């Protein structure tokens, strides 16, 4: 096969162009520090690089969420620590007021000081931070805490003393779990009712109902009487309202003939006398009744129980009956107050646990970022030693090719015409 000069020139120019492109790419890698400039250069590596960058961006979002949660919890903790200080001050003043040598005027002065502390706690629980209420749950439009017409504390429209002492009650459960959640990399999921599964997200807020408490407490049990023949009732009634318990048979499942004998209140609810502090002796008959009268029942929440203590300390020694001051009742109210104070301590502990989880999550994400950045560097970043060696080799080859070209491509007529 005859090799013409034109064929040699074509082959030569092709090789020179290839060396030029390779040298330029190598130079670009050295100047930019990147291996790839287009996905088509290495599709597999480009896909891996995209996945790594997506993970890094996602982690950045998680870190931002954790920082926000940490700021909210810091605000919550600051408020609760302030409330804790006010409660310690209140406890000292209550103990002072219980001194039997105090006059009516001295107790009234302490009551005024307690009222000031009560108002400070009320205002603190309505704290607003950057446009949202710290203890309001998902409520960001209005102050979560208020008082009703009777002066009882309300939370997001619900009078706390009217709520049952049952965390599984639908209303109580809804208020307690009406918290704020964030995605921190736990793969959020929904249940069958399309509600978020709490274990797949991070609950970073503290709801006000969990701080202040709810429901009622029996300070002094009530009484129970029965006119039924052969029955005796003993014990103190610990229910919250006057009622009549009737022994009867009620169909539980009428279609299957299933019935249940027992004591039923006026609302038709089955009541075990032992659950309300009563002991019934004898064999009851259908239609037998027990009349129960509630005793001294007060609200369990922190605000209202402080209010009860304030009212008690404002009473006079000279008044009779319930209108008169009773140191025994004040001491009983103090026990209820101590129980309510414990909820604040519990929530401070809860904040500590959440803060520890944030620190753990931040460390976990930081470790992931280190690994992902290393993986990204392995995929995208240039090894300068290798790149410089490649560039030197290509550039040397390029220079050598130019020298060879001057011998392959002889002078033409145009070279003589210049």
pLDDT of residue 354: 92
How far apart are alpha carbons 145 and 125 in whole angstroms? 7
Structural domain contains residue 124: yes
Parallel, antiparallel, or unpaired for β 158-159 and 270-271? Answer: unpaired
209 and 351 housed in the same domain? yes
Q: Indicate which CATH number applies to the domain containing 115.
A: 1.20.1330.10
Query: Do 63 and 195 fall into the same domain?
Result: yes
In whole angstroms, give the CA distance from residue 31 to residue 211: 60
Average pLDDT over the chain, rounded to an integer: 85
Nearest Cα to 80, choosing from 133, 131, 135?
135
**Helix intervals (H) in 228-326:** 302-313
Same domain, 269 and 321: no
- Tell me the per-residue pLDDT of 361-397, one tens digit each, with 9 for 90 and over: 889 888 888 888 777 766 665 655 665 566 576 666 6
Say which residue, 414 or 43, is predicted with more confidence.
43
Pick from 139, 126, 301, 88: nearest CA to 211: 301
**Would you say residue 387 lies in a domain?**
no
Q: What is the DSSP string of 350-364?
A: HHHHHHHHHHHHHHH
Instruction: Decide if 41 is inside a domain.
Output: no
The predicted-structure confidence for 337-365, as pLDDT tens digits, reads as follows 999 999 999 999 999 999 999 999 889 88
Structural contact between residues 325 and 107, judged by C-beta atoms closer than 8 angstroms: yes
Last residue of a domain, one of 294, 325, 354: 294
Q: For residue 347, give the nearest of 214, 216, 217, 205 by alpha carbon.
A: 205
Residues 283, 173 within the same domain: no
Separation of alpha carbons 319 and 260, rounded Å: 49
Span 1-10, pLDDT tens digits:
555 666 666 6
Please state the rounded mean pLDDT for residues 116-133: 92
Q: Residue 141 has what pLDDT? A: 81
Q: Which residues pair with 279 in a beta bridge?
A: 234
Q: Pick from 269, 294, 319: which residue ends a domain? A: 294
Residue 369, pLDDT score: 84
For residue 112, tell me if it sits in a domain.
yes
Domain total for the chain? Answer: 2
Q: Look up the pTM and report it.
A: 0.77
pLDDT at residue 386, rounded to an integer: 63
347 with 232, same domain: the answer is: no
Does residue 292 or residue 417 have the better pLDDT? 292
pLDDT over 80 at 294, yes or no: yes
| Percent of all residues in the chain with a pLDDT value above 70, rounded to a whole number | 79
Q: Is 35 left (phi over 0), alpha (psi -120 to 50) or beta?
A: alpha
> Where does the pLDDT of residue 104 fall: very low under 50, low under 70, confident under 90, or very high at 90 and above?
very high
Q: Are residues 304 and 177 in the same domain?
A: yes
Does 211 reside within a domain?
A: yes
103 & 229 share domain: no
Same domain, 181 and 209: yes
- Residue with the bigger pLDDT between 318 and 158: it is 158
Which strands make up the sheet holding 145-147, listed edge to edge?
145-147, 153-155, 158-159
Same domain, 171 and 233: no
Q: Are residues 72 and 210 in the same domain?
A: yes
273 domain residue, yes or no: yes
Asked if residue 120 belongs to a domain, the reply is yes
Residues 244 and 200 in one domain: no
Q: Which domain holds residue 183?
A: 52-217+298-368
Average pLDDT rounded to a whole number, residues 62-84: 92
Check whether residue 227 and residue 210 sit in a common domain: no
Domain end (from 248, 279, 294): 294
Q: What is the pLDDT of residue 260?
A: 85
Is the pLDDT at 191 greater than 90, yes or no?
no
CB 227 within 8 A of CB 302: no
- Give exposure, 286-296, as e/b (b: 16+ Cβ within 10 Å): eebbbebebbb
Whether 176 is in a domain gets the answer yes
């Amino acid at each position: 096969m005859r090799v013409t000069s034109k064929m040699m020139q074509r082959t030569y120019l092709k090789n020179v162009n290839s060396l030029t492109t390779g040298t330029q790419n190598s130079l670009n890698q050295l100047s930019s520090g990147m291996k790839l400039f287009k996905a088509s250069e290495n599709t597999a590596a480009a896909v891996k690089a995209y996945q790594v960058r997506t993970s890094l961006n996602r982690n950045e979002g998680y870190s931002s969420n954790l920082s926000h949660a940490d700021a909210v919890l810091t605000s919550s903790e600051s408020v609760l620590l302030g409330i804790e200080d006010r409660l310690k001050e209140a406890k000292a003043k209550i103990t002072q007021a219980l001194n039997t040598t105090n006059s009516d005027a001295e107790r009234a002065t302490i009551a005024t000081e307690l009222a000031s502390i009560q108002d400070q706690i009320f205002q603190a629980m309505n704290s607003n931070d950057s446009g949202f209420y710290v203890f309001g749950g998902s409520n960001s439009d209005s102050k979560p805490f208020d008082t009703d017409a009777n002066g009882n504390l309300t939370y997001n429209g619900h009078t706390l003393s009217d709520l049952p002492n049952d965390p599984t009650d639908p209303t109580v459960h809804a208020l307690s779990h009406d918290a704020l959640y964030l995605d921190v990399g736990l793969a959020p999921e929904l249940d069958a009712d399309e509600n978020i599964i709490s274990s797949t997200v991070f609950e970073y807020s503290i709801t006000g109902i969990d701080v202040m408490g709810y429901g009622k407490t029996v300070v002094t049990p009530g009484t129970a009487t029965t006119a039924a023949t052969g029955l005796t009732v003993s014990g103190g009634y610990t229910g919250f309202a006057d009622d009549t318990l009737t022994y009867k048979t009620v169909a539980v499942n009428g279609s299957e003939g299933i019935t249940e004998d027992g004591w039923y209140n006026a609302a038709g609810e089955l009541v075990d006398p032992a659950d309300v502090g009563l002991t019934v002796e004898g064999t009851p008959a259908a239609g037998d009744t027990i009349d129960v009268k509630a005793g001294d029942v007060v609200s369990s929440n922190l605000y209202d129980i402080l209010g009860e203590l304030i009212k008690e300390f404002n009473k006079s020694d000279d008044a009779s009956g319930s209108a008169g001051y009773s140191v025994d009742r004040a001491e009983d109210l103090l026990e209820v107050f101590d129980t309510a104070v414990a909820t604040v301590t519990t929530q401070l502990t809860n904040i500590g646990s959440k803060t520890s989880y944030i620190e753990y999550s931040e460390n976990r994400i930081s470790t992931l970022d280190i690994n992902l950045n290393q993986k990204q560097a392995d995929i995208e970043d240039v090894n300068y030693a290798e790149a410089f060696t490649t560039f030197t080799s290509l550039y040397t080859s390029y220079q050598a090719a130019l020298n060879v070209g001057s011998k392959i491509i002889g002078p033409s007529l145009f070279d003589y015409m210049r």
